[in-house]
Chains A and B, each alone.
Chain A
Amino acid sequence: MKPKRTSARRTGRRVSRIKRRTSRPVRQVAAIPIVNHPNPYVSVIIPAMNEAKTIAGVISGARGVHPRCEVIVVVNGSADQTAEIALSLGAHVISYELPLGHDAGRSVGAEAAKGEVLLFTDGDLVIPATGLRPYVTAISGGADIALNDYSGPVRKLSPHPVVLSKHALNILLGRPDLKGCSMTAVPHAISRRALEILGSESLSRPPLAHAQAVLSGLRVVAAHKVHVGKLNAVRRKEDGTDPLQQLITADHMEAVSLLLEHRGNRAGFSDGTRRREMVR
């Protein structure tokens, strides 16, 4: 039975002025160094393009994922102070004057990474360390690819084509349990073993890397949910088309093609009891 509330509690008055203890003790966090660890366990890869407003927040979140951590910022096609800010925060900055291309920064970052775990995020997503640590933990626990457990909005019957493509690819890969989780979305982490099998180049086309990971028998898990939908606005051209959407869905079709090459015309699904020779 619930104890009766006292009148003192009900009116909100405190009997004594002693501070109440919270149920959870506050953890004492060691001061986070602002330099990269010489022998890092985790490499955080942050592609950035004109993200001066957010890059400091992103780096400070990234610093907290592990005591042995390096932050790699791949600045490309930026006209603002992104690179300078990142440098002042002790990040390893790789700069390109021109844009590298959609998701190409991931390959460049992976190439430079020294850690056992590679954590991918983005220059415009400010995520606190608590939101990033679960991915590292999952890889430490034996997973090869730890994905963002976020499937996108699925409340309508016909979702956004990218959301649909991610779901369909996982179904065809025989991993419907992954729903709409994909290496397309950040944050996600991969093991060094996964990087060696996939190759850093393939990370520029995440749906293909995703399919390749499942096909190679790597352990792919949905580790933790960061609701990135709200942080990522859709941009359209005047004619209503979204080139990025077309690029990502085309990559998914390419991934399906890869799958069919690997597993055969039916992607490894049985033909049941069909006797096709009955019809000629």
Chain B
Amino acid sequence: MMVALLQVSGSSTVRRGTATRKVKKRSASSQTQTTVAPRQRKANRSVKGGSLTVRSPIPSRQSKVGREALKLPSLRGTLSVIISARNEEQTLGRLLQQVSRLEPAEIIVVLNGCSDSSFPISRQHRQAVVVHCPESVGHDVGRAIGAKLSRGDILLFLDGDMVIPASQLGLFTAAVDNGIDVALNDLDPLMPSFGLCDDVTRSKLFLNYALGRYDLGVSSMTAVPHALSRRALEIIGYRELIVPPKAQALSVLEKLRVEKVGTVNVIKHNRLRQANIGAGNAVEKLIIGDHAEALLEVLSRRDDGGLRNSETQREYRRQVAAWRNRI
């Protein structure tokens, strides 16, 4: 039951076993591997129609010249893109196309309880490594699995339900390439006033406030896209990515560079499902629970200057009262 079925795209073998680091160590000798370095891929492109190329069957609408013109600035570090998906056949193919434009070193697609054609679609992509979990592993667990398998210096996390143009994704990867450890999506401009916000948004604000980072607004690792540096992943621990707000708390507490780097409207395109609509829905409760875990982390590390001592506490309150009334 608890065994994940791992299928590595491009390879004829189907591996069984838990999602462990084994998959990461793809042997260099394997000739069926299609995950190749960017430079090598360019070479592939030139031998069009040759036996080496394994191409996506979707024909590109852009001319080769156009493609070159739209090339994104290259990164110093290597990029791993981690996509979690759950029955996203409508969008996954197009998302993978956009991701390819970033020229990542690897693309890891974690399929979480997919029963549609998400699996064949991901497998058609020449670069994607597909982790197929036939049974649902739950929210955000896919991210941690993907992170564990990744090797790049920059990790870009995406959801399969939304096609985001490569130019926008580039903001996040570039930020990490330039020294930021956790590059978040800035959702503040898309939010109504606090009085009209939902409980999840309020929880995100409160966590950032409790972390002493009220400037982050509602930005959260719960939201995609976001990018991490390899250093951040090592300090946070890939396992903690299962609970994104806790990972965020750890990032700030460990003094990593956490910044919001750009706005991608993920609210407009977020797929509505049975579980995520209406106030008090299951996903909302899950995320609030995540924030509770994050706050526990904050509380366990706080330095309150001895204020939990009741006598010091009383004296402090006396001083505050006196100060307030000496108008």
Residues of A within 8 A of B (CB): 49-50, 76-77, 98-104, 151, 154-159, 161, 163-165, 167-168, 171-172, 176, 204, 235, 237, 243-244, 247, 249-250, 253-254, 256-257, 259-260, 265-280
Contact = CB atoms under 8 A, between A and B. Distances in A.
Contact of A275 (B137, B280, B327): B137
A268 B286 CA distance: 10
A161 B199 CA distance: 16
B52 interface: no
Contact of A260 (B295, B315, B322, B323): B295
B318 A154 contact: no
B182 interface: no
Contacts of A176: 199, 279-280
A190 B202 CA distance: 28
A278 B145 contact: yes
Interface in B110-155: 133, 136-141, 144-145, 148
Contacts, number: 180
Nearest to B285: A269
A268 B294 CA distance: 14
Contact of A204 (B144, B210, B317): B317
B194 A276 contact: no
A167 B325 CA distance: 27
B145 A273 contact: no
A101 B292 contact: no
Nearest to B133: A278
Given A158-B214, A276-B242, A99 B194 contact: no
B304 interface: yes
B325 A278 contact: no
Main secondary structure of the interface of A (DSSP, over half): loop
B289 interface: yes
Contacts of B57: none
A172 B320 contact: no
B72 interface: no
A170 to B, nearest CB: 9
Nearest to A254: B308
A280 B239 contact: yes
Given A243-B320, A260-B296, A279-B238, A235 B327 contact: yes
Given A156-B193, A273-B138, A104 B203 contact: no
A168 B327 CA distance: 31
Interface string B293-323: 1011011001010011000001111111111
Interface centre among A103, A151, A254 (most CB of B within 10 A): A254
Interface centre among B136, B282, B318, B319 (most CB of A within 10 A): B318
B2 A275 contact: yes
Contact of A267 (B18, B145, B292): B292
Interface in B213-229: 214, 217-218
Given A253-B210, A271-B138, 19 more contacts: A76-B321, A98-B318, A100-B318, A101-B316, A155-B193, A156-B193, A157-B197, A158-B214, A158-B217, A163-B194, A164-B202, A164-B205, A165-B206, A171-B199, A260-B292, A269-B286, A271-B286, A275-B2, A277-B2
A253 B193 contact: no
Contacts of B325: 49-50, 77, 99
Given A267-B289, A271-B289, A161 B314 contact: no
A274 B141 contact: yes
A157 B292 contact: no
Contacts of A269: 285-286, 288-289, 292
B191 interface: yes
7 contacts: A99-B321, A101-B320, A235-B324, A267-B289, A270-B286, A274-B141, A275-B2
The 3 closest A-B pairs by CB, nearest first: A269-B289, A274-B138, A101-B317
Contacts of B327: 235
B308 to A, nearest CB: 8
Give the size range of B's interface with the partner. Answer: 35 or more
Contacts of A265: 292-293, 296
A249 B320 CA distance: 14
Contact of B322 (A77, A165, A270, A271): A77
A279 B286 contact: no
A237 B323 CA distance: 9
A101 B314 contact: yes
Contacts of A256: 292, 295, 299
A205 B282 CA distance: 33
A208 B213 CA distance: 24
A155 B202 CA distance: 13
Nearest to B2: A277
B4 interface: yes
Contacts of B218: 157
Contacts of A271: 138, 286, 289
Contacts of B81: none
B291 interface: yes
Contacts of B105: none
Contacts of B139: 272-274
Interface centre among B188, B214, B285, B325 (most CB of A within 10 A): B325
B19 A278 contact: yes
Interface in B185-210: 188, 191-195, 197, 199, 202-203, 205-206, 209-210
A237 B137 CA distance: 51
A158 B323 contact: no
B299 A253 contact: yes
A255 to B, nearest CB: 11
A155 B192 CA distance: 9
